[in-house]
Amino acid sequence: MKSKTKIKKQMQKKTSSKLVDTIITAKKNKPWIKIAGILSGPRKNRINLNLEEIDKKVEDNEIVVIPGKVLSQGKVNKKIKIVALNFSDKAKEKLLRLKFEISSIVEEIKKNPEGKGIKILEK
């Protein structure tokens, strides 16, 4: 796990205000520091997952955190909450149509600062 100092140093290279806000918020909450470490690193370390890949890796009623982007290919057959840095437009549309609960990482940290019940999907 990265130190807060290393995260801060790497964060200075980021230009996206949404990404920087997410890193800062995650860094302040101990259970979420792993997310801050992934997001502060190189873009290649972020994970982009299709819905079918998410479905294979999770169980029912989990809160799934994806430190990257959710893509639209496939479908999810389990009742889960998906938290991600970004959603493709098609993926967001699909998930909302099927009444899945989705949110950004910052929103979820504000609702669940202790990180209870989260599962972080990584490469």
The domain tally of the chain equals 1
Entry pTM: 0.90
Mean pLDDT by 10 residues, the chain (123 residues): 86 89 92 93 91 93 94 93 96 94 95 93 81
Residue 106 lies in domain: 4-120
The domain spanning residue 99 has which CATH number?
3.100.10.10
Distance of CA 114 to the CA centre of its chain: 15
Show the tokens assigned to 33. 């520091």
- Residue range 32-63, pLDDT digits in tens: 999 999 999 999 888 999 999 999 999 999 99
